[in-house]
Each structure stands twice: as structure tokens, then as C-alpha cells.
């Protein structure tokens, strides 16, 4: 069974019979985990093993695990710094900042892979302009060249551990105050201004090191009348053609308020896929999932399926083996010694 275009979430720490059936639906291609799905390292390994055993090829298992305030698994996992903390050290000591970015990506990816998670939606490539509260310290820096430099090191760390990377939130969420979880933010800058700022990290990393990209639920009216995640201009003309991106395009969560203008959940999914998304995320709406799957009946995109297959993680170690790995131990110690606020 091939991987479908829908990524769903789960209610708790174990699978319900309904969730097992939904995960086996041919239009489902993956699952995203949240803090509510985590109890302990052993529980997480059991959950991911059960999900993986349901299908062949296995479903893609994902999570938002950036560090700082966006780290879904806490107890039993290394506390990771917010990316802005790495940027602050980089401003004082460029070489140390690069090492810390690499270490953070490596530790994050190695720990997740050892627990059965294929992909973290990271790194954030937004610019830390001090405008967006939802981005805030999730961004490395304001300077797009610094963001590019540190994100490249972060991705190299992920790659060393065996995980691909997903850059977000294309073409940049850092220039608007609104939170797309609760409203549709509007960025009135023209494409020319975005090309010299927010788009720079994507332009430099998309053709080379990113396997996936997630667009923002943000409207850029001087570029297109549709928000980026529903826009053929942004996804086809800019991302695919101008930036030569050939990886997976994930929609951001379709249940977010920034996506509601596209219709009901099924209509949002159809519009996102028609615009160029390969995979749509449907989270925090378990009652709406069956309707979404019905709305996509008969949908198939072989190219998207081939892109998805490249996202399976390649874990090099089990959890026990990782704890004894000298590179991992050294990276953890570098992070702990550099950030006094980390436990």
C-alpha cells in the first residue's frame, strides 16, 4: 500500500480501534504526535512500533520538536535550547554558534529516531524580527544570512543522525504580528522585499539540504490572493520553479484559523493539494477526519508518494546504544554547558 496525502493525529498515548482503522486507510500517509501522545520513552517506542507495523511501507511518523517552548517530549529526552539562544551565542562567537546548531540538530534527530519517530518539522527558517509572537525565540536570528548559516549546520546535524529536514514556514512568518493558529495574518510586503529577506534561507537551502518544506498560513496580497499554503503562485511558481525545490510540501495544520477561509476541512485539503501540497496535516479535529478522507476519495499523486517515501528515518542506534555513543554524549554535554537554563 502506497503512502497517502493525509497526515493525521492521535487522541492519547495508545491507539484506539478507530485510529487503527483510520491509519490503515489508503489516503493516510503519516501521523503527527503531540505532547498528549507522550508518557515515557518506553511508551513512545511501543506506540511508534505499533504504528509502524500497521502498513508496508510504514507510515511516516512526525512531531514538532524544535527545542525551547516547542518540544513535545520532555521527560527522558534532552532539553533543547530555543533556536534564538543559539543565535545569541553565534553573535558573540560564530564558531561556537555553528557547533551548537549542529549539536542541537544531531541530538534532536538521534533521540527521536531511536524512539521510532521519522521526522521533526524543523528547522524554523523564519526571521526573528521581534514582530511575530508565535515565532519569537523559535527563530535563529533576524539576519537571513545568519539564519541560513545556522540552519545549514542544524540540518547537517540531523543528517548525521539519519533524519531529513523540513524548513518552515515558507515564505516567512516572521514579518507579521498575527498568529495563524487564531487568525489569518496578512503581510503586505511585495515579492521584491521578501526575496531580499525572508525568502533568502529558503532560496539557499531548498535546492540542496531540505527534503521537505511547510508553508505558512499567511496571506501576501501583493503576491497572490490566496494564503501561501493554498497558493499555486507560491508553491509552484516560487518554491518549485524559482527555488528549484523537489522535495515534499506539507501543508500546515488545516484546523488552524489561518486556513478556515478555504472552506470546510475537506475543501481545505482539496485546495491545498491542488495548489501543490503533497501532504495535508489534519490535527485536533478527530470528528472531521472521516469527512476529509471521504472528500479526497479517488485522489492519487504518484509523484507525491515517491517524495514521501524518502522521509523515512534511518536510525543508526537503539535508545540504549545511543546513550553510550561518544558523539551523542559530547553533543549533549556541549548543549548543557552552553545553556545554563537547560535542566
Q: What is the pLDDT of residues 36-61, one digit of tens each?
A: 999 999 999 999 999 999 999 999 99
Q: Is residue 64 part of a domain?
A: no
The verdict on residue 187 lying in a domain is: yes
**CATH code of the domain in which 308 resides:** 3.20.20.300
In a domain, 195, yes or no: yes
Contact in structure between 256 and 180 (CB atoms under 8 Å): yes
Average pLDDT across the chain, whole number: 93
In the chain, how many domains are there? 1
* 67 within a domain of the structure (yes/no): no
In this structure, is residue 1 part of a structural domain? no
Residues in the chain, pLDDT under 50:
258
Name the H helices within the chain: 17-23, 41-53, 83-92, 94-114, 144-161, 191-195, 200-205, 232, 265-275, 286-295, 302-309, 319-323, 326-338
pLDDT of 1 reads 72
Residue 288: what pLDDT? 86
Q: What distance in Å separates the CA atoms of residue 219 and residue 227, rounded to the nearest whole number?
A: 4
Give a yes or no: residue 66 inside a domain.
no
Is residue 179 included in any domain, yes or no? yes
Angle at 80 between CA 109 and CA 112, to 5 degrees: 25
Active site members: 181, 252
pLDDT the model gives residue 179:
60
**Helix, strand, coil abundance in the chain, percent, nearest 5:** 45, 10, 45
Residues of 319-340 as b/e, b for ≥16 C-beta within 10 angstroms? beebeeeeebeebbebbeebbe
Measured distance CA(301)–CA(155) in Å, rounded: 28
Is residue 14 a part of any domain in this protein? yes
End-to-end CA distance of the chain: 43
Tell me the per-residue pLDDT of 16-28, one tens digit each, with 9 for 90 and over. Answer: 999 999 999 999 9
- Give the per-residue pLDDT at 94: 98
- Can you give the residue range of the structural domain that contains 249? 7-59+72-338
Q: What is the pTM of this model?
A: 0.95
Amino acid at each position: 500500500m502506497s503512502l497517502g496525502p493525509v497526515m493525521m493525529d492521535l487522541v492519547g498515548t495508545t491507539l484506539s480501534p478507530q485510529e487503527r482503522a483510520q491509519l490503515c486507510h489508503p489516503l493516510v500517509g503519516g501521523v503527527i504526535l503531540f505532547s498528549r501522545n507522550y508518557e515515557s520513552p518506553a511508551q513512545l517506542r511501543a506506540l511508534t512500533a505499533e504504528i509502524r507495523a500497521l502498513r508496508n511501507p510504514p507510515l511516516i511518523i512526525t512531531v514538532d520538536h524544535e527545542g525551547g517552548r516547542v518540544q513535545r517530549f520532555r521527560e527522558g529526552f534532552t532539553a533543547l535550547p530555543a533556536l534564538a539562544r543559539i543565535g545569541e551565542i553565534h553573535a558573540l562567537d560564530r564558531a561556537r554558534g555553528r557547533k551548537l546548531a549542529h549539536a542541537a540538530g544531531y541530538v534532536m534527530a538521534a533521540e527521536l529516531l531511536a524512539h521510532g519517530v521519522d521526522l521533526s518539522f524543523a528547522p524554523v527558517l523564519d526571521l526573528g524580527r521581534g514582530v511575530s509572537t508565535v515565532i519569537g525565540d523559535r527563530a535563529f536570528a533576524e539576519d537571513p544570512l545568519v539564519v541560513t548559516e545556522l540552519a545549514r549546520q542544524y540540518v547537517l546535524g540531523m543528517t548525521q543522525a539519519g533524519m531529513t529536514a523540513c524548513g518552515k514556514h515558507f515564505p516567512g512568518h516572521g514579518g507579521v504580528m498575527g498568529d495563524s493558529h487564531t487568525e489569518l495574518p496578512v503581510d503586505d510586503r511585495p515579492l521584491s522585499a521578501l526575496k531580499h529577506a525572508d525568502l533568502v534561507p529558503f532560496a539557499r537551502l531548498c535546492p540542496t539540504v531540505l527534503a521537505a518544506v511547510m508553508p505558512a498560513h499567511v496571506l501576501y496580497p501583493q503576491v497572490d490572493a490566496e494564503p501561501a499554503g493554498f497558493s499555486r503562485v507560491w508553491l509552484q511558481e516560487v518554491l518549485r520553479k524559482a527555488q528549484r525545490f523537489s522535495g515534499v510540501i506539507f501543508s500546515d495544520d488545516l484546523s488552524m484559523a489561518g486556513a478556515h477561509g478555504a472552506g470546510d476541512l475537506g475543501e481545505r485539503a482539496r485546495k491545498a493539494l491542488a495548489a501543490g501540497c503533497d501532504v495535508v496535516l489534519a490535527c485536533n479535529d478527530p470528528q472531521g477526519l472521516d469527512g476529509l478522507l471521504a472528500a479526497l476519495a479517488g485522489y492519487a499523486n504518484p509523484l507525491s508518494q515517491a517524495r514521501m517515501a524518502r522521509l523515512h528515518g534511518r536510525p543508526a542506534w537503539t535508545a540504549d546504544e545511543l546513550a553510550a555513543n561518544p558523539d551523542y554524549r559530547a553533543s549533549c554535554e556541549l548543549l548543557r554547558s552552553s545553556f545554563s537554563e537547560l535542566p
